[in-house]
Amino acid sequence: MSARRRANGNSESVDNYLKAILSLGGPEHRRVTSTALADHLGVAPASITNMLQKLAAAPTPFVEYERHRGVQLSAAGKRRALEVLRHHRLIETFLYEILDYPIEEVHEEAERLEHFISERFEERIAAKLGHPRIDPHGHSIPTMEGEMTEQNSILLTDVQQEGTFVIESISDRDIPTLRQFETSGIKPGAKLRVRRKTSIEGYSVSIGRSATAFDLSHEAAGDIRLFPCAK
- Contact (Cβ atoms closer than 8 angstroms) between residue 179 and residue 187: no
Supply the range of the domain harboring residue 143: 1-148
- Contact (Cβ atoms closer than 8 angstroms) between residue 88 and residue 22: no
pLDDT at 168 over 70: yes
Q: 173 pLDDT band (50/70/90 cuts)?
A: confident
Phi, psi of 99, rounded to the nearest 5 degrees: -100, 0
With 0-12 / 13-18 / 19 or more C-beta atoms within 10 angstroms meaning exposed / middle / buried, residue 61 is middle
Looking at the fold, whether 115 and 200 belong to one and the same domain comes out as: no
Q: How many domains does the chain have?
A: 2
Residue 169 belongs to a domain with what CATH number?
2.30.30.90
Q: 200 pLDDT band (50/70/90 cuts)?
A: low
Q: 231 pLDDT band (50/70/90 cuts)?
A: low
Q: Write down the mean pLDDT value for the chain.
A: 90
Q: What is the pLDDT of residues 53-85, one digit of tens each?
A: 999 999 999 999 998 899 999 999 999 999 999
Looking at the fold, whether 25 and 134 belong to one and the same domain comes out as: yes
Domain boundary among 148, 168, 187: 148
Looking at the fold, whether 47 and 103 belong to one and the same domain comes out as: yes
pLDDT number for residue 198: 73
Looking at the fold, whether 201 and 131 belong to one and the same domain comes out as: no
Looking at the fold, whether 42 and 144 belong to one and the same domain comes out as: yes
Q: 196 pLDDT band (50/70/90 cuts)?
A: confident
Q: What is the pLDDT of residues 8-50, one digit of tens each?
A: 445 899 999 999 999 999 888 899 999 999 999 999 999 999 9
Residue 18 belongs to a domain with what CATH number?
1.10.10.10
Domain boundary among 124, 148, 172: 148
Q: What is the pLDDT of residues 116-129, one digit of tens each?
A: 999 999 999 999 99
Domain boundary among 123, 148, 173: 148
Q: What is the pTM of this model?
A: 0.87
Looking at the fold, whether 81 and 185 belong to one and the same domain comes out as: no
In this structure, which long-range contacts are made by residues 112-117, counting pairs with CB atoms below 8 Å and at least 24 apart in sequence?
113/87, 114/15, 114/84, 114/87, 114/88, 115/10, 115/11, 115/12, 115/15, 115/84, 115/87, 116/1, 117/87, 117/91
